[in-house]
Amino acid sequence: MVSRRSVLRAVPLAVAALTAAPGPPRWLGGSSTSTDPVRVPPDPATAGAAATAVRGFTADLYRTLASIHPGGNVVCAPYSVGLALAMTRAGAGSTTADEMDAVLHAPYPRPGALDSGFNTVDQMLAGRYQDGDGTKRARLTTANALWTRFDLGLRPGFRDILAGYYGAAPHPVDFRGTPEVARQEINTWVSDRTNAKVPELLGSGAVSPDTSLILTNTTYLMAAWRYPFAATATAVGPFTRDDGSVVDVAIMRASFNRMGYLEGDGWRAVDVPYAGGELAMAIVMPTRDDLAAVEANLDVTWLSALLTGFRMTDVRLHLPRWTFRLPAELGAALGSLGMPTAFTPRADFTAMSTDPALYVDDVVHETFIAVDEKGTEAAAASAVIIPPPSVPQGPQFFVNRPFLYVIHDQLTGVPLFIGRVHDPLVTGPP
């Protein structure tokens, strides 16, 4: 019986772990690469279809998580999970590949358009944000890696796809002999690339001698608001939860000139820009019924219309501060979305490895977000403080009841993080 300990995790990172039945050694030798792989040049023609695919996967995954956590806060990073799953799909075949393509909303022609599209979007985002300082310009970084046991034979084509399209360098580790050392090495890699926000991705026992391969992705964001809130304007105010109860929370208050604003059927939204003006947080609040009614209509069409439909106006904004972390196992959720075969011994990952018994063991997702007057992950950021403008004559947007939020790239419409706040005082699951 194969141990079900290895995991695929995302917070903002995602890790895909596959297990295999023990077999004869196939020694490959080698050591962790010390240089980054050479990426395939981006193809701008693939960006639009990839952005649509990410929006589709984001909507599906969020609705599923929201249904699992009714009446509670939710946050996830579908872009990160999508990258990890796309890397895993590069080694899939037959029914396994078809199901993963459907869940990822993979564009045609398959599978090449998915790899090319993710490569293009990832490099476009890196070109704009990876050198940001988090204050004058948002900083967004991603990293991918491939961790394999020493004797696992990888297909050259799979290695080439991960290197060229995902920049994922191979790291042979001794899962069988020293799984604890391998776990610590992976956790250190993750911690270094998330500014220590995720110091221990893999808990004790998560890596076992049965682990064959782990795919990791990290996505890290540090961004100040383009127009920071003045801390002196923050005051305690009421926030009404969906059950009608009221809690007192810290409410940030400011008036802004020329902010994105949009109204829809039963909801309205603002688009709060980060420093640099290309990254923003869309905040959606229901105007009738509760947030669940808005979430019921959240699909790729709705999300695309939201992220591309904002119009500039003056806004008086009240927004609560919040900090929240959510770990979630995604295996069952992804299976219900349409890719159950990948989690069974019937999985086909023969394009990944010469080992005939690989399958995805589990998917665990954990995401952390902190929002205050300075921005997102503001505790680690220095903000350029700009005095708020005079009170505008546009709409008032007082966020005093549960709301949905989407951190997204404005130029491509790619959502990076999505979540809801039912209670700003709750910092994690019960």
Domain ranges of the chain: 8-223+324-368, 225-321+372-421
One fold for 8-223+324-368 and 225-321+372-421: no
User: CA dihedral defined by 119, 120, 122, 124, rounded to 10 degrees?
Assistant: 160
**pLDDT recorded at residue 260:** 94
pLDDT tens per residue across span 168-202: 988 899 988 998 999 899 888 888 887 877 777 77
Q: What is the DSSP letter of 233?
A: G
Architecture in CATH of 8-223+324-368: 2-Layer Sandwich (3.30)
pLDDT band for position 215 (cuts 50, 70, 90):
confident
Alpha-carbon distance 236 to 214, whole Å? 45
pLDDT band for position 207 (cuts 50, 70, 90):
confident
Task: Say how many CA atoms lie within 13 Å of 326 toward its Cβ.
Answer: 22
Is the pLDDT at 357 greater than 90, yes or no? no
Contact 337, 380 (CB under 8 A): no
pLDDT band for position 393 (cuts 50, 70, 90):
low
**pLDDT recorded at residue 394:** 64
Q: Which of 216-220, 313-317, 339-343 has the lowest mean pLDDT?
A: 216-220
**pLDDT recorded at residue 345:** 87
Alpha-carbon distance 344 to 333, whole Å? 14
What are the residues whose beta carbons fall under 8 Å from the beta carbon of 45, sequence distance 6 or more? Answer: none
**pLDDT recorded at residue 238:** 93
Q: Which of 68-72, 136-140, 201-205, 369-373 has the lowest mean pLDDT?
A: 201-205
Percentages (nearest 5) of helix, strand, coil residues in the chain = 30, 30, 40
Number of other residues whose CB lies within 10 A of the CB of residue 277: 11
Helices (H), 168-315: 179-193, 291-295, 300-308
Helices (H), 130-176: 156-166
Environment class of residue 75 by beta-carbon count within 10 Å: exposed (0-12), middle (13-18) or buried (19+)? buried
Number of other residues whose CB lies within 10 A of the CB of residue 249: 17
Region 374-386: mean pLDDT is 37
Select the more confidently predicted residue: 151 or 231: 231
**pLDDT recorded at residue 165:** 97
**pLDDT recorded at residue 318:** 93
User: CA dihedral defined by 164, 166, 170, 173, rounded to 10 degrees?
Assistant: -170
Alpha-carbon distance 9 to 87, whole Å? 13
Region 21-37: mean pLDDT is 41
Listing DSSP states for 337-388 in one string gives HT--GGGSTT---TTTBS-TT-EE--EEEEEEEEE-SSEETGGG--------
**pLDDT recorded at residue 248:** 94
pLDDT tens per residue across span 416-426: 989 899 999 98
Give whole-number Cα distances, 282 to 47, 306, 359, in Å. Answer: 21, 8, 37
Sign of CA dihedral 174, 329, 120, 375: negative
Q: Which of 12-21, 43-52, 203-212, 287-296 has the lowest mean pLDDT?
A: 12-21
Region 301-314: mean pLDDT is 94
pLDDT band for position 35 (cuts 50, 70, 90):
low
**pLDDT recorded at residue 282:** 96
pTM of the model: 0.87
Paired with 239 in beta bridges are 247
Select the more confidently predicted residue: 229 or 9: 229
Beta strands 363-371 and 8-10, pairing class: parallel
Backbone Cα Rg of the chain: 22
Q: What is the DSSP letter of 131?
A: T
Alpha-carbon distance 252 to 261, whole Å? 18
**pLDDT recorded at residue 21:** 42
**pLDDT recorded at residue 121:** 97
Select the more confidently predicted residue: 284 or 21: 284
Question: CA-based angle 131:133:139, to the nearest 5?
Answer: 65
Is the pLDDT at 252 greater than 80, yes or no? yes
Is the pLDDT at 36 greater than 80, yes or no? no
Select the more confidently predicted residue: 254 or 355: 254
Query: Could you tell me which CATH number the domain at 225-321+372-421 has?
Result: 2.30.39.10
Is the pLDDT at 270 greater than 80, yes or no? yes
Q: Which of 198-202, 319-323, 367-371 has the lowest mean pLDDT?
A: 198-202
pLDDT band for position 112 (cuts 50, 70, 90):
very high
DSSP-based three-state secondary structure for 128:
helix
Region 264-276: mean pLDDT is 94
- What the block records as the tokens of 250 is 């810290």
Alpha-carbon distance 331 to 328, whole Å? 9
pLDDT band for position 364 (cuts 50, 70, 90):
low
Contact 364, 328 (CB under 8 A): yes
- Omega into 42 within 30° of 0, i.e. cis? no
Number of other residues whose CB lies within 10 A of the CB of residue 5: 18
In single-letter form, the type of residue at position 139 comes to R
- What the block records as the tokens of 323 is 């900090």
Region 373-390: mean pLDDT is 38
Contact 151, 28 (CB under 8 A): yes
- Percent of the chain scored above 90 by pLDDT? 50
Question: CA-based angle 42:45:50, to the nearest 5?
Answer: 80
Paired with 376 in beta bridges are 223, 371
Nearest by Cα to 215 from 171, 177, 161, 150? 171
Mean pLDDT of the chain: 83
